[in-house]
Chain A
């Protein structure tokens, strides 16, 4: 989100920097839309403000694969137009890993096109879904902590 985020510590496999706010109901929606596409990977984009995700735009995975996703180009373009019409900007890209952990794969890292966007991964590798967010810059992965709050 913030382009000037610097690693502030380390948890697990990656250094981490900053937090992104995702309302609890939106986080539940994210898990739900990804679960609905199982056994295939789900994908989509998300809009919001720096430091906060406020809306999801699910996209069809035209690869229809449990190991790979390719977003439907027409839907992706339309999602960006809808965001603009709503006064929002794309701040995150999400996809699911049906059977692997919530961390960027070598393919994810190679395909990461934007150093400032957040890459959110929902994993169903274990019984309780896991959601993590990352920045990927020049092949370097940094984790951004997801802060989830219930709506006021």
Chain B
């Protein structure tokens, strides 16, 4: 069993336990632009440094989509 990581709908598995903050850093995702949930519970930015995902956990990382036709 491993930690399942979903980044904007794409899933992969990593070995646990893993710090969610370190996971974000390894993916070069700034916490300021991401919504994070572990086992479907939202994690605040303040709680990130203390949040660890273990084998069997689901970590969801979502970057809000934005753009536009300003050409």
Contact = CB atoms under 8 A, between A and B. Distances in A.
B64 A73 contact: yes
Contact of A76 (B10, B40, B62, B67): B62
Nearest to A93: B65
Interface residues of B, number: 19
Chain A, interface residues (CB within 8 Å), range: 35 or more
A73 B62 contact: yes
Contact of A89 (B11, B35, B68, B71): B11
Contact of B67 (A84, A101, A111): A111
A79 interface: yes
Contact of B11 (A84, A96, A114): A84
A30 to B, nearest CB: 16
A43 to B, nearest CB: 6
Interface in B1-19: 6, 8-11
Q: Considering residues B35, B40, B71, which has the most beta carbons from chain A within 10 angstroms of its beta carbon?
A: B71
Contacts, number: 99
B47 interface: no
B67 A108 contact: yes
B28 to A, nearest CB: 10
A68 B64 contact: no
B9 A47 contact: yes
Contacts of A43: 65, 67
B70 A41 contact: no
Nearest to B42: A77
Contacts of B69: 41, 67-68, 96-100, 105, 108, 121, 123
A22 interface: no
Interface string A85-122: 00001100101111111011111100111101100010
A68 B67 CA distance: 6
10 contacts: A63-B66, A68-B68, A93-B65, A97-B69, A99-B69, A100-B70, A105-B69, A105-B70, A108-B68, A117-B8
Interface of B: 6, 8-11, 35, 37, 40, 60, 62-71
